[in-house]
């Protein structure tokens, strides 16, 4: 078996995956719980993790048995890091190769090495079959040719132990920052509620707007070099417009989709689905509505757009949306519900003061959130670089332990 070399490896011999492992196949037991290979390298019961994005199988035809200690490689999502050691007994998709070692090997080391190869783009480069978002390693012959750095077993153990310690420290730092971000977001919500939670509604959304404009119910045609942007729900988060998250479109598409009125500065963009209940100010006039978007054409003679936008994030309004979407989360806001939304409208002068206050307070909090997000990004990059350096022999772990 010819071994294609991973260029990053500098200090270790490389051996083909198929000389280290053999593929095993066992039937899935009737009623076995679902096991999933996740992109963070965990192979565990689906009941222990978030089920969003996964569906329960109607039958077990496409599943096989997996046991604790099995080495699992997802044939399509290997590119995203779905490689690891199962900690559970259950049923896992046959898209995964379930393997056991035929050489003395530290499975933690191999899992780290393959995920490092995926991050580097090496696995995509050697893949024989490509699908959107992933490389096809369902064929054992393809997976068996994957080159694995293979230092002596004792060194594999030392590297895996070292990475366990170092990555745990980094993961703890990342978890702390995620906790801080959650706290800051709760503070942000409390700031908004401190204004809107103490006032009763005295008007409705339709009275605050010249019009409430729904998007065309078609997908805008993409124009890669188009000078206009069709705003999508991904473009709107936490009262801010995220440039570049929409779809580039031509002037003619922009004109067609704005037939009911083009977004103007001072108007509000609103997401009515996926996710629902987000809002931001119109950033510029060269945008149009993508799918699931609504334009609130504000009556500027009596309403400050920023005040209206911030009120949408108040607990009272969000609870109203939840109540009228028949769920614990806001899944969809129908236009009649949005138009009839009860709101508080004080004098225009007071609206402007409230909007300025919330702009200032949320900007301070958003700055702290951004700092934590930057630290998380840097920590993740350091984690990835550390793993790659260790499994490729670029650093001698025994000298730094």
Task: Kindly list the domain boundaries of the chain, sorted by start residue.
Answer: 14-150, 200-345
The pLDDT score that the predictor gives to residue 133 is 46
Residue 129 scores a pLDDT above 80: no
CA-closest candidate to residue 271, choices 230, 243, 237, 248: 237
Strands (E), 24-79: 35-37, 43-45, 63-66, 71-74
Residues across the chain: 401
At residue 33, does pLDDT exceed 50? yes
Q: Is a pLDDT exceeding 80 seen at residue 57?
A: no
Is 70 exceeded by the pLDDT of residue 51?
Answer: no
Closest among 240, 263, 357, 363 to 309, alpha carbons compared: 240
Tell whether the model's pLDDT for residue 375 goes beyond 90.
yes
Would you say the CATH fold of 200-345 matches that of 14-150? yes
- Mean pLDDT, residues 363-372: 98
Question: Which CATH number describes the domain made up of 200-345?
Answer: 3.90.220.20
What's the fold here for domain 14-150? Adenine-n6-DNA-methyltransferase TaqI; Chain A, domain 2 (3.90.220)
Predicted confidence at residue 1, as pLDDT, reads: 54
Give the pTM: 0.83
Average pLDDT over every residue of 364-369: 98
Quick one: pLDDT band at residue 126, thresholds 50, 70, 90? confident
Q: Using only C-alpha atoms, what is the Rg of the chain?
A: 26
Report which of 60, 164, 184 is spatially closest to residue 107, judged by C-alpha positions. Answer: 164
33-42, 164-173, 255-264, range with the lowest pLDDT: 255-264
């Amino acid at each position: 078996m010819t071994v294609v070399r991973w260029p990053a490896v500098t200090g270790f011999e490389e051996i083909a995956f198929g000389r280290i492992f053999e593929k095993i196949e066992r039937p899935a037991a009737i009623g076995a719980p679902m096991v999933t290979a996740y992109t963070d390298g965990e192979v565990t019961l689906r009941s222990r993790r978030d089920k969003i994005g996964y569906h329960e199988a109607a039958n077990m035809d496409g599943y096989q048995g997996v046991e604790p200690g099995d080495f699992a490689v997802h044939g399509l999502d290997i590119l995203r890091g779905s490689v690891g050691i199962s900690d559970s007994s259950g049923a896992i998709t046959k898209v995964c190769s379930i393997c056991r070692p035929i050489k003395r090997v530290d499975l933690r080391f191999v899992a780290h090495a393959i995920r490092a190869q995926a991050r580097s783009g090496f696995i995509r480069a050697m893949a024989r079959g490509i699908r959107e978002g992933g490389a096809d390693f369902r064929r054992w012959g393809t997976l068996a040719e994957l080159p694995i750095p293979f230092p002596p077993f004792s060194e594999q153990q030392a590297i895996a132990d070292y990475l366990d310690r170092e990555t745990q420290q980094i993961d703890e730092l990342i978890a702390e920052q995620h906790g801080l971000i959650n706290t800051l977001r709760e503070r942000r919500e409390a700031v908004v509620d401190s204004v809107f939670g103490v006032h009763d509604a005295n008007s409705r959304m339709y009275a605050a707007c010249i019009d409430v404009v729904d998007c065309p119910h078609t997908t805008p045609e993409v124009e890669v070099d188009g000078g206009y942007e069709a705003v999508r729900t991904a473009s709107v988060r936490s009262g801010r417009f995220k440039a570049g998250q929409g779809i580039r479109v031509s002037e003619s598409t922009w004109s067609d989709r704005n037939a009911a009125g083009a977004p103007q500065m001072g108007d509000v963009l609103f997401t009515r689905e996926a996710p629902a209940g987000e809002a931001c100010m119109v950033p510029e006039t060269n945008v149009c509505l993508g799918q699931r978007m609504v334009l609130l054409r504000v009556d500027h003679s009596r309403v400050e757009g920023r005040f209206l936008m911030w009120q949408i994030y108040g607990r009272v309004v969000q609870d109203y949306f939840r109540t009228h979407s028949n769920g614990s989360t806001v899944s969809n806001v129908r236009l009649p519900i949005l138009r009839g939304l009860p709101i508080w409208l004080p004098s225009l002068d007071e609206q402007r003061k409230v909007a300025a206050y919330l702009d200032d307070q949320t900007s301070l909090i958003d700055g702290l959130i951004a700092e934590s997000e930057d630290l998380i990004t840097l920590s993740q990059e350091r984690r990835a670089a550390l793993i790659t350096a260790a499994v490729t022999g670029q650093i001698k772990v025994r000298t730094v332990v």
